[in-house]
Structure 1
Amino acid sequence: MSSSQNPIDPRSLRDAFGTFATGVTVVTAIGADGAPIGFTANSFTSVSLDPPLLLVCLAKTSRNFEAMTSASGFAINILSDSQKDVSNTFARPVEDRFAVVDWQLGPHGSPVFADVSAWFDCSLEQMIEAGDHVVLLGRVQAFEKSDRNGLGYVRGSYFTPALAEKAVSAASDGPLHLSAVIERDGCVLLVGDNISDLPGCHAVSGEPLQDLKAHLEASTGLAITIGFLYSVYEDRKAGCQHIVYRAFAGAGTPAAGRFVPVSDLSGLSGSATADILSRFAAESSLGNFGVYVGSEAAGRVHSIARKA
C-alpha cells in the first residue's frame, strides 16, 4: 500500500489503475485541415443523462492533443469484441488509420464507425485541466447502439465477456473444479509434491470466483486477484468440469508451493495441467493469450489479442 507521505512510482500507479476493467473506445474528430483523427482510449465514462454528457481524458503528450482540443466536437466509438484490430491500429502511429475501418461522418460531424457496440457524436461542452491530462467533456448530440458485445480491457490485455460467459455456462453441469495460473514477476505459482500442479479447489457454492479466491488466499497466504478466464475443459475420465483462471499474486512468500519462471514451463506435456502451462509459456512469449474450451484431449483456443 502506498502512503501519501512517500513518492508515488508512476509505473506502479499506472499498473494499479490498470486493474480496473474497462471497455475500449476510439475517440475521433475532424482536424483543422479537414482530415479525420482518432486514438484508442479507455478513459471514458458517462457523466449525465440530463443534460446528456460524457467525458474522456486526453494526455497532453498525445500527438492528437492540439487537433482534439481545437475541434468543435468529437465522437466516442465503443468497440465491439470483434474489433481488437481496430483498437490496435488506433493505438499505433499508423499513417492512415481510417483506411482499415468502415466509417462515416456522424450527424454532428465527427467520424463514427460501423460494427461498434455504440457511438456518440458530441459537441465539446468544456475542457478541464487535470494534471498531465485534460478532460474533454462532451454533450451528446446523436448516438446509436447495437446488440454487439463490447471489447473489454484490464491489466494490459483484452478480454471478451461474452466468450467468458458462454464458456462458463458450458461447464455448469456436474462436479466443478476451479484452479488458477497465478502470475507474479514472470513466474507462475505451482503446488503439489512435485511442484507441478495448479492451486485450486472444488466449487462449494453458487459463486465459483469467491470460492476460488478464498481458497487461494487461505492456502497461499498471499493477496490474490482473479483475472481472465483461461481454460474450460471437461475431464471425461473423471467426470469433472474444470475452469482455470489467470490470477495475480501480491508480495510475500507463499505458504504452499513456489514460483517457477515461465521460461521453465515450455514444452511440458502428458497431462491437462502440463498442456495448460506449456500453452501459457508460449502465449506469454508472444503476448497473445486465449481461452481454451474443450475436453482434456481436444478443444479450441479462442484467441484474445494483447494490446500492442
Structure 2
Amino acid sequence: MSDSSFDPRALRDAFGAFATGVTVVTARDGVGQPLGFTANSFTSVSLDPPLLLVCLAKTSRNYQAMTTATHFAVNILSETQKDVSNTFARPVEDRFATVSWQAGGHGCPLLADVSAWFECARHELVDAGDHVILIGRVLAFDNSGRNGLGYARGGYFTPMLAGKAVSAASEGAIELGTVLERDGEILLLGDDLLRLPACMASGGNPTETLKTHLEALTGLPVTIGFLYSVYENKASGQQHIVYRAFAGPGVPAEGQFIALERVEPDRLQDPASRDIVRRFAAESTLGNFGVYFGSETAGRIHSISMGGAQR
C-alpha cells in the first residue's frame, strides 16, 4: 500500500496507539492577548542546548499567531486537569476565563496546578506536511512533581487512578475481565448465555496476563487499553478488574463480535456483566467514558472524558 492510498482516519487511529502526555501550548498574539491550544504532539529534543518541540496544524486558528510569536510556553497537564485539556481543545472564545494562570518572565501564560511548564524562545520553525514543527529553546521551567495526564487511542487515562484500583483489589484472587471492542462491536463468549472474556490473575503484570489470555483465546492481536471497572462480588468475595481492550482484524477463534446496539442484556450471564455492557453502550454513544469502583450492586463512576487532545 502506497502512502497516497492510506485512509487518513485509519492512520490517525494507528498514531493514536502511542500513549502520550497532554499539554496546553500558550503564547501572546500580536496585540498581547493570551492564546492557547491543547496538544499531545510534544517531546523533548535536546539538553544542551535545552530544546523541545510541539507540532501545530496549519489549519489551526492559532497558526498565524503561534508562528510569529517570539516566545511560547508548554504546560504539561496534571492528571486532575482533563477539563482544562477539553477547554483548550474546543473553539471557546475566552479559554483563559475558566483557568488560573499567571504570566511568565517572558509574558507567556503559565497555567496553575500543572505537572510542569517550560517557557521558551522560538528557536526554529520547520515545515512538516500539513503541520509545522515549532522548536523552542527553554528559558525557564518548573516541575511540580504531580502525575501527568495520559492520552492514547482517543481517550484520557490517569496513572494514579490505575494504581489505586489495582492496589485496592490486590488482596485475594483477582479475576481480570475485558470489554474487547472493534469497530463498534464487542466480543462475547457463549451461546445461550453470553459472557465477557475473563481470566484469573496469575501474579505479575495484570495487563500482560490479560493480553496473553485474549490473544490465545481469539487468535487475534489485542491491545489492552485502560481500566473500566473495579468491583468486588460481595457474595463470593471475588475481586474483579475489567479493562477496555482493542482487537485487531480477523475472525475470532472463540466468541463472536456483536454490535453494541444488538446486544441483549438479558442474555448476559450475570448482573455485573449486564451493567458493564449497558454502561459501555451508553458511554460509547456519548464518547465519555468512566471507571467504576464499588461492588456488583453499588459504586461510583469516575468520569474520564474522551474529547480533547489534538495536534
TM-score category, normalised to shorter length: over 0.9
* RMSD after superposition: 1.6
1:131 Cα deviation (Å)?
1.3
**1:51 partner amino acid:** P
**1:103 partner amino acid:** W
Which secondary structure state, in structure 2, belongs to the residue aligned with residue 94 of structure 1?
coil
* 1:185 correspondence with 2:183: yes
Instruction: Work out which of the residue numbers 103, 106, 129 in structure 2 matches 1:105.
Output: 103
For CA contacts below 8 A with separation 6 or more, give which structure has more relative contact order. 2
1:192 Cα deviation (Å)?
2.1
Which secondary structure state, in structure 2, belongs to the residue aligned with residue 14 of structure 1?
helix
Instruction: Work out which of the residue numbers 199, 219, 226 in structure 2 matches 1:201.
Output: 199
Write out per-residue CA displacement over residues 9-46 of structure 1, whole angstroms, 9 at most, x where no aligned residue: 21111110011111111101111111111111000011
| Change in CA separation of 1:82 and 1:130 when aligned onto 2, cut-off 3 Å | same
Q: How does 1:1-308 map to 2 (within 5 A)?
A: 3-4=1-2, 7-194=5-192, 196-265=194-263, 271-308=271-308
Could you tell me how far apart the structure 2 residues matched to 1:15 and 1:204 are? 32
1:58 Cα deviation (Å)?
0.7
**1:272 partner amino acid:** A
Deviates more, 1:66-75 or 1:262-271: 262-271
Aligned length: 306
Write out per-residue CA displacement over residues 215-266 of structure 1, whole angstroms, 9 at most, x where no aligned residue: 1011111111100110111123223211110001111111111111112347
1:101 Cα deviation (Å)?
1.0
Deviates more, 1:216-225 or 1:144-153: 144-153
Could you tell me how far apart the structure 2 residues matched to 1:46 and 1:266 are? 49
- The answer (yes or no) to whether the contact 1:266–1:277 under 8 Å persists in 2 is no
1:5 Cα deviation (Å)?
7.0
1:302 Cα deviation (Å)?
0.8
- The answer (yes or no) to whether the contact 1:30–1:37 under 8 Å persists in 2 is yes
- The answer (yes or no) to whether the contact 1:291–1:301 under 8 Å persists in 2 is yes
Could you tell me how far apart the structure 1 residues matched to 2:29 and 2:249 are? 47
Tell me the TM-score normalised to structure 2 length.
0.94
Tell me the TM-score normalised to structure 1 length.
0.95
| Change in CA separation of 1:266 and 1:71 when aligned onto 2, cut-off 3 Å | farther
Which secondary structure state, in structure 1, belongs to the residue aligned with residue 45 of structure 2?
strand
1:297 Cα deviation (Å)?
2.1
Could you tell me how far apart the structure 2 residues matched to 1:190 and 1:287 are? 22
Could you tell me how far apart the structure 2 residues matched to 1:5 and 1:93 are? 31
| Change in CA separation of 1:266 and 1:292 when aligned onto 2, cut-off 3 Å | farther
Could you tell me how far apart the structure 2 residues matched to 1:45 and 1:6 are? 27
Q: Which runs of 5+ in 1 are unaligned?
A: none
- The answer (yes or no) to whether the contact 1:266–1:278 under 8 Å persists in 2 is no
Could you tell me how far apart the structure 1 residues matched to 2:87 and 2:132 are? 23
1:159 Cα deviation (Å)?
1.3
Could you tell me how far apart the structure 2 residues matched to 1:113 and 1:207 are? 35
Q: Which runs of 5+ in 2 are unaligned?
A: none
Could you tell me how far apart the structure 1 residues matched to 2:164 and 2:241 are? 12
- The answer (yes or no) to whether the contact 1:292–1:300 under 8 Å persists in 2 is yes
Could you tell me how far apart the structure 1 residues matched to 2:251 and 2:297 are? 35
Could you tell me how far apart the structure 2 residues matched to 1:5 and 1:14 are? 13
Could you tell me how far apart the structure 1 residues matched to 2:265 and 2:94 are? 41
Which secondary structure state, in structure 1, belongs to the residue aligned with residue 279 of structure 2?
helix
Which secondary structure state, in structure 2, belongs to the residue aligned with residue 95 of structure 1?
coil
